[in-house]
Chains A and B, each alone.
Chain A
Amino acid sequence: MIGWSGMLASLFVDPTFVPGAMRSFLLLPLCLSISIVYKTIKCDRLKDVPAASFVLWLTIVCGMYMVGIGMWAAYLLFGAP
């Protein structure tokens, strides 16, 4: 019991430090969650969900990274506002 509470405390009570490059990778599970939820309520058959979710996840992630790269390029070209 003490082990469980200790593990929970270390998992949820203390915040996790997110280093620089790790930030962009945290987009992936969030997009996966959004795509699974959306496709779970859209698809009538549950077995269609994984493939449909994967396609939507890929679309969102590619779109978001392209927007990010575009904004980064605009920042490099025109500088800070």
Chain B
Amino acid sequence: MAGLLGLFLPGLGHWYIGRRGQGLVLIAVLTATFWGGVAIGGVRSTINSEKHRAWFAAQLLNGGHTLAVLAWQSQLPRRDPQTNLPLGRAVWPSDEIAMVYTGIAGLLNVLLILDVTGRAGERSPRAAPAIKSSPPEGGRS
């Protein structure tokens, strides 16, 4: 569950397992990194599933952020209706910098998901000895 929440919004998994401070820092940092990249490259050209497939796979790991950008992209006109020229396309190096920012944010989220999954798994064995230490019913097993 924590891993899924982390995939939905980077950092939310840490919030869910009770690491509220860490969760807030991670949400703020990864959101700023991803949307900083989008601000550099623009919504239309930062996420491009046809031209940069490997980077697109990394960007998808941002989960909700990437879906928001894809939804925003679908609302925007791609070409100028009068001149038929492409609108808002980033040129080098803005497009590549934007891809790197958003792709690295996605790869960092993999780190967070692995960490939160491990920590969520650690919590159960800690609870188990407390249950075992209680005396069995009737005083004998």
- A-side residues, CB < 8 A to B, are 11-18, 23, 26, 29-30, 33-34, 36-38, 40-41, 46, 49
Contact = CB atoms under 8 A, between A and B. Distances in A.
Interface residues of B, number: 38
B39 interface: yes
27 contacts: A12-B43, A13-B42, A13-B43, A13-B44, A13-B88, A15-B42, A15-B45, A15-B88, A15-B89, A15-B98, A16-B39, A16-B94, A23-B97, A26-B40, A26-B97, A33-B105, A34-B104, A37-B30, A37-B108, A37-B111, A40-B25, A40-B26, A41-B22, A41-B111, A41-B112, A41-B115, A46-B25
A15 B41 contact: yes
A15 B40 contact: yes
B139 interface: no
Interface of B: 14, 21-22, 25-26, 29-30, 32-33, 35-36, 38-45, 72, 76, 88-91, 93-95, 97-98, 100-101, 104-105, 108, 111-112, 115
B95 to A, nearest CB: 7
Contact of B21 (A16, A41, A46): A46
A37 B93 CA distance: 25
